[in-house]
């Protein structure tokens, strides 16, 4: 019967307590108070080491050998606990339960010392009346009361109530938003950099997975602190592709086809790689590689397109069109370019430069504002304009001159030009 009797919580060893708590709270980091330090065991020790940088040692804990252990002083809890929480960890602080047998022995020894002193007092007080004997028994009653207050049953009830309190606190938090794909966004918040206090970062979790923190714009930080920007709005600003609808998986499993100038083009291969050639200017950058027919092409990938690729919100065909459309002379590539309002297409000129023999484009700004500079066309854009006819002069001008046109149109006219126009 004694062998089959279940152990009281106070009779459990440290590692038994660890296993007992892990069964109830598998997702929590368990911090055990041992004297003046907090110790963390097994898999929890490795997680804490990764976050806090504390060393992990292997030693015997109780009767169990080769246990991974990380520790830190109890006074460092106020510093380390917020760091663990910011890293997305759920933390439970466990006070080790004392062995009731050992405690009873200690209390029995104290009780023996108290009772051994009582007869001396009683003999010296023999002449006193019986009613004075009642106060003499009070120290004994007080000692017994102290034993009763620390019984294993009460300790067990206290431990259970504490566990229930922790369980109540660890209820799955409500998502701050749900994406069109059904993903749940939680833990969205801004935090200050420890290395550079001037920098703030925004981060969140999607379906429990931590997202890479993104540096915040100072204006966004002010708006967020004043509650003018919500977590969904910050998600849209810093993780836009996480909120876009994902394309079907089949788009990455079969060859994509694009309409080309001479018929359909099949994308035979498309992937992402990191440039490892140290002699290249784009060494260490992520690049797209595409193979379309006999053409093998690569280009540095933008951050937006990389996110679209890894989050699967754009098909390989869309990414090839966006990054290699000019090399494939796709009409759809040039359709994205439009001239700003107020530019007369008749003022666009594409001509060969007599000095260097290269084709260049310029545009008349109108209203006495003069012309733009002359920008050299790439071979592929010239081929699309003159050979495949998949690009127009207006589209070529918009591709090369839009930024300059917008800047000059925004600048006020000089007084001389304004006066000459009135004349």
pLDDT per residue as tens digits for the range 188-234: 999 999 999 999 999 999 999 999 999 999 999 999 999 999 999 99
Please say whether the beta carbons of 132 and 125 come within 8 A.
yes
Region 356-360 average pLDDT? 95
pLDDT of residue 332: 92
CB 178 within 8 A of CB 184: yes
Name the helix (H) or strand (E) containing 115.
Answer: helix 100-124
Strand order in the sheet with 295-300: 256-260, 263-274, 286-292, 295-300
Summarize the confidence of residues 417-421 as an average pLDDT. 50
Start-to-end CA distance of the chain, whole Å, equals: 115
Find out whether 290 and 270 touch, Cβ atoms under 8 Å: yes
- Which residue is listed with tokens 């439970």? 92
Q: What is the pLDDT of residue 143?
A: 40
Q: Which tens digit of pLDDT belongs to each residue from 151-199?
A: 555 555 666 665 665 555 566 778 999 999 999 999 999 999 999 999 9
DSSP 423: -
Question: Distances from the Cα of 33 to the Cαs of 30, 95, 97, 243, 292, in angstroms?
Answer: 10, 5, 10, 43, 63
- With CA atoms as reference, report the closest residue to 315 among 240, 271, 355, 256: 256
Buried b (16+ CB within 10 A) or exposed e, 2-34: eeeeeebbbebebbebbeebbeeeeebbbbbee
Model confidence, pTM: 0.55
Which pLDDT value is given to residue 254? Answer: 83
**CA separation for the pair 347, 367 (Å, rounded):** 12
Predicted confidence (pLDDT) per residue in 312-329, tens digit: 999 999 999 999 999 999
- All domains in the chain, ordered by first residue: 9-95 (3.40.1170.10), 100-168 (no CATH), 180-243 (no CATH), 249-324 (no CATH), 345-410 (no CATH)
In whole angstroms, what is the distance from residue 135 CA to residue 100 CA? Answer: 29
**The most confident of 29-43, 83-97, 147-161, 285-299, by mean pLDDT:** 285-299
Average model confidence (pLDDT) for the chain? 81
* Residue 110, pLDDT above cutoff 50: no
Q: Which two tokens stand for residue 280?
A: 């290249």
Most confident of 56-60, 92-96, 242-246: 242-246
CA atoms of 44 and 304, how far apart (whole Å): 36
Q: Which of 93-97, 142-146, 305-309 has the lowest mean pLDDT?
A: 142-146
Smallest Cα–Cα separation from 342: which of 410, 393, 399? 410
The confidence score (pLDDT) of residue 285 equals 96
Contact 248, 316 (CB under 8 A): no
Q: Which of 233, 290, 286, 302 is nearest to 266 (CA)?
A: 290
Here the tokens at position 217 are 């714009």
Q: Give the contacts of 184 (CB within 8 A, at least 6 positions apart).
A: 175, 178, 206, 207
187 CB-near residues (< 8 Å, 6+ apart)? 88, 173, 203, 204, 205
Beta strand 256-260 with 209-210: parallel, antiparallel or unpaired?
A: unpaired
Distance of alpha carbon 24 from alpha carbon 41, whole angstroms: 16
- CB 102, CB 152: distance < 8 Å: no
Q: From CA 198, how far away is CA 82, in angstroms rounded?
A: 19
What b/e readout covers 152-170, taking b as 16+ CB neighbours within 10 angstroms? beebeeebeeebeebeeee
Using CA atoms, how far residue 103 sits from 13, 124, 238, 386, in Å, is 15, 33, 57, 95
Contact 376, 358 (CB under 8 A): yes
Question: Does an H or E element contain 127, and which?
Answer: none
Percent of the chain residues topping a pLDDT of 70: 76
Q: What is the predicted pLDDT for the residue at 121?
A: 44
């Amino acid at each position: 019967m004694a062998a089959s009797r279940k152990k009281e919580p106070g009779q459990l060893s440290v590692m038994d307590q660890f296993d007992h708590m892990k069964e109830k709270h598998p997702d929590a980091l368990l911090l055990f108070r041992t004297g003046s330090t907090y110790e963390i065991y097994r898999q929890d020790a490795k997680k804490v080491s990764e976050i806090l940088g504390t060393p992990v040692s292997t030693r015997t804990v109780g009767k169990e050998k080769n246990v991974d252990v990380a520790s830190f002083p109890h006074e460092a809890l106020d510093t380390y606990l917020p760091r663990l929480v910011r890293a997305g960890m759920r933390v439970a602080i466990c006070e080790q339960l004392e062995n009731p047998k050992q405690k009873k022995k200690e209390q029995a020894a104290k009780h023996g010392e108290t009772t051994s002193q009582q007869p001396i007092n009683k003999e010296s007080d023999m002449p006193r009346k019986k009613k004075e004997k009642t106060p003499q028994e009070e120290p004994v009653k007080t000692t017994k009361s102290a034993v009763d207050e620390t019984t294993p049953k009460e300790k067990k009830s206290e431990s259970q109530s504490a566990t229930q309190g922790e369980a109540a606190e660890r209820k799955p938090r409500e998502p701050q938003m749900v994406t069109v794909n059904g993903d749940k966004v939680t833990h969205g918040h801004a935090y200050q950099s420890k290395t550079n206090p001037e920098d703030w970062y925004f981060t969140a979790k999607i379906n429990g997975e931590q997202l890479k923190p993104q540096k915040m714009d100072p204006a966004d930080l002010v708006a967020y602190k004043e509650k003018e920007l919500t977590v969904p709005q910050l998600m849209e600003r810093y993780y836009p592709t996480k909120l876009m609808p994902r394309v079907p998986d089949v788009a990455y499993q079969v060859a994509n086809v694009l309409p080309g100038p001479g018929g359909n083009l099949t994308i035979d291969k498309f992937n992402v790689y990191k440039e490892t050639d140290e002699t290249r200017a784009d060494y260490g950058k992520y690049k797209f590689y595409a193979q379309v027919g006999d053409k093998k092409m690569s280009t540095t990938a933008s951050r937006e397109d990389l996110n679209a690729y890894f989050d699967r919100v754009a098909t390989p065909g869309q990414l090839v069109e966006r990054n290699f459309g000019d090399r494939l002379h796709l009409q759809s590539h040039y359709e994205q370019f439009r001239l700003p309002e107020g530019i007369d297409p008749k003022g666009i000129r594409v001509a060969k430069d007599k000095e260097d023999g290269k084709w260049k484009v310029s545009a008349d700004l109108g209203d006495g504002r003069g012309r733009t500079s002359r920008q050299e066309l790439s071979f592929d854009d010239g081929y699309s304009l003159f050979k495949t006819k998949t690009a127009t002069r207006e589209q070529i001008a918009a591709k090369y001159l839009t930024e300059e046109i917008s800047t000059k149109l925004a600048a006020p006219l000089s007084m001389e030009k304004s006066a000459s126009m009135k004349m």
